[in-house]
Chains A and B, each alone.
Chain A
């Protein structure tokens, strides 16, 4: 009964989405208040029915209702409760239901938090989100219904993929989807503005907090995914340029560009068309990501079974959304006035440079991700683009991004005297170059490393310039002693958020460079009782025992790690065999540390009680995720800025025009 209830409520949700997509939009065009007023109730109705449907699927998993095919494939009576919950989004159908649920949450959030907005804008934004919801809900209902029954009913379920039975992966998809789907808000605002033909600073101000929140979730999702891959896949990698990772990274890059471009549009009224285009691009890329992952055209760790009808459906949907929005853009954008002018050296130019770099990086990643598809479609052979290509492309462009990141917050809007800027930055520049050279020399490492030098120089540059910008800001606010008071003031959230996010980037740069330059890894054969030296540590292998787990059997190795004769840690890497899916799984033994991780994973049993083992020494690897968390925290701070809680349209317009005229050099970006 309950699965049918879920199915029906999904159908009702689709009806609600239809109402939401049609009436408010049409009402806003022919000015019918009653139709526009339908937007909010329809958004709530859609949310209610999707949530009910989701609850029904959760119920099926918790009660082991194997008459539902999806539960029979992914559930199991032995599964711990937390993984019964996460199994809901462990495979194709359920993860799409989660997608739709999150979309309806965002829709409701917009309807709730937009009370001060003009009704026709709210109606249009919610309608656009309704159109997106129609696409995904009908995709669910017609090609991938999670409530399909199976008969005869199996006694036991097929179990959740062991790789996914992990806390990191239980929370990774919801976070990532919050980001993906959150970009639909910026998209809807952009489309609504295009329809209304009014792309003004008030529009940018409304879009900003939504974009920032979506971007923050995307950052957290990507960081979690990377962290999970590191400890769960058992070979110590944290980023593989896998198509699915790229699919999440491209929208992130576009959203990052959008954030910065929105800042310019809000403050200076410039870049309007470009900002709209970025908003369309960011959401299109997240739809493309969904297409790549769900259609199975690209194989990767994440891809589900290939099903041509599904792929075709998403492809058509993608064409409608991207094609439709670009057509609207082409029709409407020429009418948009260009905003305030600016000189060649100004904060606007620097932010434009940042945008171009981000878009260029995203384009290259897109090229590398789609190249195998293009080659295959053209009959040029089956190819894959090597890991090194992506890394090279990223490393070529990313340093410039870091340089601009330092300059941007210090430059003035509209016009900046280059000589004056240089004078202010002299010390920071010398300090960074000095630190870089010091690190590049073979003082800290036998060979020294140019990349490490560059990374330290860039990080130092970022920290110094952020400090300078802070000092400049506080000069008008009683100096450093005014910091605390300034933190609580209106408009400070976005400034401090920016600063913290940029410092997060500095931390991140150190992390990735140190670990790629100085990590030590070795595949070895070890006999019980044998010792081995690696990167200044001695690894002593005690042997392997068999240990039972809740729903698996494990071979657990014991490796004691010594440094200078003292025991540092005891690592217990495991090789698990899950009872249902009988897949072996490597569970690495990790000793985490602020400046280094020691990482051991079990290979396989060789003859004579020997085992093959992987030993790693990973310096500063934690800084990668620490940087990601700091960046996301910056986003949170920026999004909660009090000045976004505007009271009315009139006040917003006034505040914006006031902010636009003011040319204080250190105003938050």
Chain B
């Protein structure tokens, strides 16, 4: 083996070792950061792991939002219309958080069945047409007049 070849072989071995280590770390980190999504029904059925970061999503039950005395801790129920989960969050809720709206909460499930959220995401309305206008357009379509659209268009 010439010195040049030995050098090249060494380089290849080093490169493979490097790639393998990197791939190992990557997969480990990837697994640690995977967050599965669970519905309230799945959580009630005991499918969700405890103490690991997961996501829960559903609608915020109307009238369930309670604020604690410090003013920053909020508790509310999230429902998929079958089961509900109580979510607790400390901090400022997103602008689009409202009762009856769909949200996704990131956090950990406690033994008590309570979900402590570290982050609450309110889904941005993806279709930029506001529901009022959409409804108005539909109503107008049915009635066959443009007046309904006007009534709905400027709430």
Residues of A bordering B, CB below 8 Å? 73-74, 90-91, 150, 152-161, 163, 234-235, 296, 299, 301, 303-306, 344, 360, 364, 367-368, 371, 381-386, 388-389, 392-393, 396, 523-525, 579-586, 603-604, 606, 610, 612-614
| Interchain nearest-CB distance for A660 vs B (Å) | 25
A/B interface sample: 16 pairs, CB < 8 A? A91-B128, A154-B146, A154-B149, A157-B153, A158-B153, A161-B125, A299-B123, A381-B37, A383-B35, A383-B36, A383-B37, A389-B33, A523-B91, A579-B154, A585-B95, A606-B71
Given A158-B130, A384-B35, A580-B154, A525 and B70 touching (CB < 8 A)? yes
Q: Quick one: which of A235, A301, A386, A396 contacts B53, CB cutoff 8 A?
A: A386
Q: B44 at the A/B interface (Cβ < 8 Å)?
A: no
Per DSSP, are chain A's interface residues mostly helix, strand or loop, or mixed?
Answer: loop
CA distance A459 to B70 in the complex (A): 43
Chain B 123-155 per-residue mask, 1 if CB under 8 angstroms from chain A, else 0:
111111110110011001100111001100111
Given A152-B144, A383-B36, A304 and B126 touching (CB < 8 A)? yes
A586 neighbours in B (Cβ, 8 Å): 95
Q: Quick one: which of A90, A235, A381, A612 contacts B36, CB cutoff 8 A?
A: A381
B55 neighbours in A (Cβ, 8 Å): 384
Q: Do A153 and B146 touch (CB < 8 A)? A: yes
CA distance A606 to B144 in the complex (A): 44
Q: Do B95 and A382 touch (CB < 8 A)? A: no
Minimum CB distance partner of B47 in chain A: A381
| Interchain nearest-CB distance for A354 vs B (Å) | 15
**Across the A-B interface, the 9 shortest Cβ-Cβ residue pairs:** A389-B33, A525-B71, A603-B92, A156-B153, A386-B33, A382-B37, A155-B150, A154-B149, A305-B127
Q: Do A154 and B133 touch (CB < 8 A)? A: yes
Q: Do A580 and B128 touch (CB < 8 A)? A: no
Could you list 11 further interchain pairs (A-B, Cβ under 8 angstroms) beyond the known A154-B146, A525-B71?
A152-B140, A152-B141, A156-B153, A156-B154, A161-B125, A371-B34, A386-B53, A396-B22, A524-B72, A580-B130, A613-B92
| Interchain nearest-CB distance for A162 vs B (Å) | 9
Given A306-B126, A383-B36, A385-B33, A152 and B150 touching (CB < 8 A)? no
Q: Do B126 and A389 touch (CB < 8 A)? A: no
Q: Quick one: which of B72, B126, B130 contacts A305, CB cutoff 8 A?
A: B126
Q: Quick one: which of A344, A388, A583, A610 contacts B71, CB cutoff 8 A?
A: A610
A583 neighbours in B (Cβ, 8 Å): 95-96, 125, 130
Minimum CB distance partner of B137 in chain A: A154
Minimum CB distance partner of A526 in chain B: B71
Q: Do B71 and A161 touch (CB < 8 A)? A: no
CA distance A153 to B132 in the complex (A): 16
Q: Quick one: which of B25, B93, B125, B126 contacts A604, CB cutoff 8 A?
A: B93
Q: Do B153 and A154 touch (CB < 8 A)? A: yes
Q: Do B126 and A296 touch (CB < 8 A)? A: yes
CA distance A603 to B97 in the complex (A): 11
Q: Do A525 and B72 touch (CB < 8 A)? A: yes
Q: B66 at the A/B interface (Cβ < 8 Å)?
A: no
CA distance A160 to B129 in the complex (A): 9
Minimum CB distance partner of B150 in chain A: A155
Q: Quick one: which of B30, B95, B130 contacts A159, CB cutoff 8 A?
A: B130
Q: How many residues of B contact A (CB 8 A)?
A: 48
| Interchain nearest-CB distance for B124 vs A (Å) | 6
Q: Do B96 and A523 touch (CB < 8 A)? A: no
| Interchain nearest-CB distance for A381 vs B (Å) | 5
B144 neighbours in A (Cβ, 8 Å): 152
A234 neighbours in B (Cβ, 8 Å): 95
A393 neighbours in B (Cβ, 8 Å): 26, 29
| Interchain nearest-CB distance for B145 vs A (Å) | 7
Q: Which of A74, A360, A604, A606 has the most CB of B within 10 A?
A: A604
Q: B114 at the A/B interface (Cβ < 8 Å)?
A: no
CA distance A389 to B29 in the complex (A): 6
B123 neighbours in A (Cβ, 8 Å): 299
B37 neighbours in A (Cβ, 8 Å): 381-384
CA distance A554 to B58 in the complex (A): 30
Q: Quick one: which of B35, B133, B137, B150 contacts A386, CB cutoff 8 A?
A: B35
Q: Do B140 and A154 touch (CB < 8 A)? A: yes
B150 neighbours in A (Cβ, 8 Å): 154-156
B17 neighbours in A (Cβ, 8 Å): none
Q: Do B127 and A612 touch (CB < 8 A)? A: no
Chain B 68-94 per-residue mask, 1 if CB under 8 angstroms from chain A, else 0:
001110000000000000000011110
Q: B62 at the A/B interface (Cβ < 8 Å)?
A: no
CA distance A91 to B146 in the complex (A): 25
Given A383-B34, A606-B71, A152 and B149 touching (CB < 8 A)? yes
| Interchain nearest-CB distance for B98 vs A (Å) | 9
B93 neighbours in A (Cβ, 8 Å): 603-604
Q: Quick one: which of A152, A301, A580 contacts B124, CB cutoff 8 A?
A: A301
Given A385-B34, A386-B33, A612-B92, A158 and B133 touching (CB < 8 A)? yes
B9 neighbours in A (Cβ, 8 Å): none
Q: Do B149 and A73 touch (CB < 8 A)? A: no
Q: Do A612 and B128 touch (CB < 8 A)? A: no
Q: Do B128 and A161 touch (CB < 8 A)? A: yes
CA distance A582 to B11 in the complex (A): 62
CA distance A303 to B55 in the complex (A): 20
Q: Quick one: which of A296, A381, A385, A580 contacts B30, CB cutoff 8 A?
A: A385
| Interchain nearest-CB distance for B152 vs A (Å) | 9
B96 neighbours in A (Cβ, 8 Å): 583-584
B71 neighbours in A (Cβ, 8 Å): 525, 606, 610, 612
Q: B7 at the A/B interface (Cβ < 8 Å)?
A: yes
A604 neighbours in B (Cβ, 8 Å): 92-93
Given A152-B146, A583-B95, A583-B96, A388 and B33 touching (CB < 8 A)? yes
A523 neighbours in B (Cβ, 8 Å): 72, 90-92
B7 neighbours in A (Cβ, 8 Å): 344
Given A382-B36, A583-B95, A585-B95, A74 and B128 touching (CB < 8 A)? yes
